[in-house]
């Protein structure tokens, strides 16, 4: 059976200090050396914003500066719930048109309706909520009609493209349909 004692940290032979502690003590000198070498190579020349004041360093301190920068950078729209639902209602038909299954259309419309009803029971924040829930069956019927129209339009375009194509010669193969 072996004796399991905690291993002693590796010691530097010259100073007797632990090697990790010695590395930590020399860390600042190592960083300064890396910066000096990079400056000699010219890696800090022609950086964007060189010679210009740093943006956002004003007299006042805004504790939410990072949040404002995030919203600006990611183009996040921070809207009151009533406006957000109104916008989603306006874009809902286009979103439904990208869906291929009726069950998924029903799920999306039901989810939208649940959020509208939940918003009606919350305390108002911002403009009043004028968005109404949608009838799921009517939404599915409208989605089915738009889908049939798109399918008919594609078929008509295909027929027109075939009619505009040059006639095939007897030696050319017909493409399978």
Question: How do the domains of the chain map onto residue ranges?
Answer: 81-162
Q: How far apart, in whole angstroms, are the C-alpha atoms of residue 78 and residue 81?
A: 9
Q: Taking all residues of the chain, what is their mean pLDDT, rounded to a whole number? A: 83
Q: How many CA atoms lie within 13 A of 60 on its CB side?
A: 4
Q: With H, G, I as helix, E, B as strand and everything else as coil, classify residue 155.
A: helix
Nearest partner of 144 among 90, 96, 109, judged by Cα: 96
Nearest partner of 150 among 88, 91, 98, judged by Cα: 98
pLDDT digits (tens, 9 = 90+) for 11-52: 656 666 676 777 777 888 888 999 999 999 988 888 888 888
Nearest partner of 114 among 133, 92, 93, judged by Cα: 133
pLDDT digits (tens, 9 = 90+) for 97-109: 999 999 999 999 9
Instruction: Assess whether pLDDT exceeds 60 at residue 5.
Output: no
pTM value is: 0.52
């Amino acid at each position: 059976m072996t004796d399991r004692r905690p291993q002693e940290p590796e010691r530097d032979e010259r100073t007797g200090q632990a090697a990790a502690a010695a590395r930590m003590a020399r860390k600042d000198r190592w960083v300064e050396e890396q910066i000096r070498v990079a400056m000699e190579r010219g890696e800090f020349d022609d950086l964007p914003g060189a010679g210009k004041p740093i943006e956002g360093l004003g007299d006042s301190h805004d504790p939410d500066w990072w949040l404002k920068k995030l919203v600006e950078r990611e183009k996040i729209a921070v809207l009151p719930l009533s406006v957000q639902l109104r916008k989603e209602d306006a874009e809902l038909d286009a979103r439904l048109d990208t869906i291929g299954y009726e069950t998924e259309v029903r799920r999306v419309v039901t989810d939208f309706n649940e959020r509208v009803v939940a918003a009606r029971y919350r305390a108002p924040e911002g403009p009043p909520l004028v968005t109404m829930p949608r009838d799921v069956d009517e939404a599915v019927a409208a989605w089915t009609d738009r889908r049939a129209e798109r399918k008919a339009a594609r078929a008509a375009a295909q027929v027109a493209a075939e009619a505009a194509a040059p006639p095939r010669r007897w030696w050319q193969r017909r493409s399978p349909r």
